[in-house]
């Protein structure tokens, strides 16, 4: 299905390569104007040139290099975007790192903290900077990227796992805060991707990475992983008017029937479907611990 983003403008972080670039490309092809944000200015300019070449006459593709974990640089990104577009509709928080790999007591502590700052604080800072603008227009879309770390333990990749779980709960909380402002906030689980993060796991080797996780990574690398386009298509949907009213959800690009969610708005509003929750004995057919 095609979802139009014509007339909409978006900030996309981590947009110079991998999934971030795939999302930016999908946004441009859907008609959006985009500001690309990433730390590496050379890669960022290359991405801008590639996307400008496929953009239409009424679209803009601009770039701003920044570290999203730094509040002052985040403010500059938003200021640049508003100068370019005057009105912003969508924020895609894709910037993220694995952080140090290894047992928690052995990894470099500053690297662990930096991963939290990029994955968690960076996303929160981007939201904080854009929310006043969204609220002034009583409309906005925040699309957050997560990953397997949000829903399953990842031994020896603890900074990534902790930050991704935290950002999902932040999204669920923020969604309730801004529901009355018609701002939708959702999280995408894009699937197992063959990106630079996978290459980092393989480079670390089974001595540093959990052995089972390393074996799965080898298999994923050989089989090709989930196509980046799956996550990109879901990001387009969540940035479009078609998804209006869907908010506070963690949605899998691979496993969930997200195309039909507009037909299930009432079910989504009334239930905890696609959210993080604690599992109790009765959820697994057991009756102990009940009062």
- How much is the pLDDT for 202? 74
Percent of the chain with pLDDT over 70: 95
Based on the structure, what is the number of domains in the chain?
2
Does the residue 3 lie in any domain? no
Last residue within a domain, chosen from 225, 246, 272: 225
Last residue within a domain, chosen from 208, 225, 242: 225
Tell me the CATH number at 135.
3.40.50.720
Does the residue 1 lie in any domain? no
Residue 218 has pLDDT above 90, yes or no: no
pLDDT tens-digit readout, 65-103: 999 999 999 999 999 999 999 899 999 999 999 899 999
Q: Are residues 235 and 177 in the same domain?
A: yes
Does the residue 290 lie in any domain? no
Locate tokens 């980046």: which residue? 228
Locate tokens 């399953």: which residue? 152
Span 148-166, average pLDDT: 88
Provide the pLDDT confidence category of residue 194 given band limits of 50, 70 and 90: low
Provide the pLDDT confidence category of residue 204 given band limits of 50, 70 and 90: confident
Q: Are residues 100 and 135 in the same domain?
A: yes
Residue 8 has pLDDT above 80, yes or no: yes
Spatial separation of the C-alpha atoms in residues 67 and 271, rounded to whole Å: 37
Please enumerate, as own/partner, the contacts of 252-259 that have beta carbons within 8 Å and a separation of 24 or more. Answer: 252/188, 252/189, 252/191, 253/188, 253/189, 253/190, 253/191, 253/226, 254/189, 254/190, 254/191, 254/226, 254/230, 258/234, 259/1
Does the residue 198 lie in any domain? yes
pLDDT tens-digit readout, 20-48: 999 999 999 999 999 999 999 999 999 99
- How much is the pLDDT for 151? 83
Q: Give the least confident one: 114-123, 134-143, 154-163, 223-232.
A: 223-232
Spatial separation of the C-alpha atoms in residues 282 and 42, rounded to whole Å: 54
Q: Are residues 152 and 279 in the same domain?
A: yes
Please state, in angstroms and as integers, the Cα–Cα distance from residue 224 to each residue in 101, 105, 220, following that order: 23, 33, 6
pTM of the model: 0.92
Span 115-120, average pLDDT: 96
Please enumerate, as own/partner, the contacts of 171-175 that have beta carbons within 8 Å and a separation of 24 or more. Answer: 171/142, 171/144, 171/248, 171/250, 172/248, 172/250, 172/275, 172/276, 174/127, 174/142, 175/247, 175/248
CB-based contact 123:92 (threshold 8 Å): no
Q: Are residues 199 and 86 in the same domain?
A: no
- Average model confidence (pLDDT) across the chain: 92
Q: Are residues 140 and 215 in the same domain?
A: no
Does the residue 4 lie in any domain? no
Does the residue 33 lie in any domain? yes
Locate tokens 């640089």: which residue? 73
Q: Are residues 250 and 201 in the same domain?
A: no
Q: Are residues 80 and 170 in the same domain?
A: yes
Q: Are residues 208 and 234 in the same domain?
A: no
Q: Are residues 138 and 199 in the same domain?
A: no
Query: How many other CB atoms sit within 10 Å of the CB of residue 29?
Result: 16
Domain extent at residue 208: 193-225
Q: Which residues are catalytic, by number?
A: 160
Q: Are residues 214 and 250 in the same domain?
A: no
Does the residue 22 lie in any domain? yes
């Amino acid at each position: 299905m095609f979802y139009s983003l014509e007339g909409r403008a978006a900030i996309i972080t981590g947009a110079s390569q991998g999934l971030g670039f795939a999302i930016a490309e999908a946004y441009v092809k859907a008609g959006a104007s985009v500001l690309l944000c990433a730390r590496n200015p050379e890669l960022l300019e290359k991405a801008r040139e590639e996307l400008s070449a496929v953009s239409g006459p009424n679209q803009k593709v601009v770039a701003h290099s920044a570290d999203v974990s730094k509040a002052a640089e985040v403010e500059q990104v938003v200021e640049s975007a508003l100068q370019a577009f005057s009105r912003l509709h969508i924020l895609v928080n894709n910037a993220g790192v694995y952080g140090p790999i290894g047992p928690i007591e052995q990894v470099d502590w500053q690297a662990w903290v930096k991963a939290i700052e990029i994955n968690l604080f960076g996303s929160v800072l981007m939201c904080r900077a854009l929310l006043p603008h969204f609220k002034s227009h009583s409309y906005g879309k925040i699309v957050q990227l997560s990953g397997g770390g949000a829903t399953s333990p990842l031994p020896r990749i603890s900074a990534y796992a902790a930050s991704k779980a935290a950002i999902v709960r932040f999204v669920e909380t923020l969604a309730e805060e801004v529901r009355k402002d018609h701002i939708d906030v959702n999280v995408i689980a894009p699937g197992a991707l063959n990106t630079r993060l996978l290459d980092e796991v393989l480079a670390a080797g089974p001595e540093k990475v959990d052995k089972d996780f390393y074996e799965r990574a080898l298999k994923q690398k050989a089989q090709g992983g989930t196509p980046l386009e799956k996550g990109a298509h879901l990001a387009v949907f969540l940035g479009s008017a078609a998804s209006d009213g869907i908010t506070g959800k963690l949605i899998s690009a691979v496993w969930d029937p997200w195309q039909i969610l507009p037909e299930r708005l009432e079910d989504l509003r009334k239930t905890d479907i696609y959210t993080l929750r604690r599992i109790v004995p009765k959820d697994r057919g057991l009756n102990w611990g009940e009062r």
